[in-house]
Amino acid sequence: MREASPDDLGTVVAFRMALLREHAGHPVYGRLHPDAELRAPALFARQMESPADAFFIAERDGTAVGLLRCTESHASPLLLPERYCYISSVYVAPAHRRHGVLRAMVQAAEQWCAARGLTEMRLHNVEGTAAAPAWSALGFDVVEQVRGRRLET
């Protein structure tokens, strides 16, 4: 497990696009912009440069097999905690799933949180996928739902 460097941009782009492609039928994530592949490197490079973000890459035998992004987020000033870690862009290559890669990446995220004084982690996951039981096994509870509605134009 290691934190990504600017040299890992290609890996970050590849994994994040693979994650979006896995959800091709999803009502939000399945609507890729026609030039998403062209937009991705600049977007992800900016995120990787942000001091509020960290990208962790899991490796096996020198090959990248997983990605997890942490973002230090600010909550409503009316709620505690005031800051928390938002986990996103989690991807494990299919051949390496169910082998502890996700658990190792979450442990790296926990260490990142501890170093920043963050006491909570949050994430979104796509309903009905194999990820839901994995997140539950790692101690994440469902605390809200996101609903969407497309408007007629």
Question: DSSP string spanning 81-123?
Answer: -SEEEEEEEEEE-GGGTTTTHHHHHHHHHHHHHHHHT---EEE
Model-level pTM greater than 0.85?
Answer: yes
Walk along the chain (153 residues) in steps of 10 and give the mean pLDDT of each run.
97 96 88 95 97 98 97 97 97 96 98 98 87 94 90 91
Q: What is the DSSP letter of 7?
A: G
Hey, how many other C-beta atoms are within 10 angstroms of the C-beta on 56?
Answer: 23
The confidence score (pLDDT) of residue 21 equals 93
Q: Is residue 116 a contact partner of residue 86, using CB atoms and an 8 Å limit?
A: no
The confidence score (pLDDT) of residue 26 equals 86
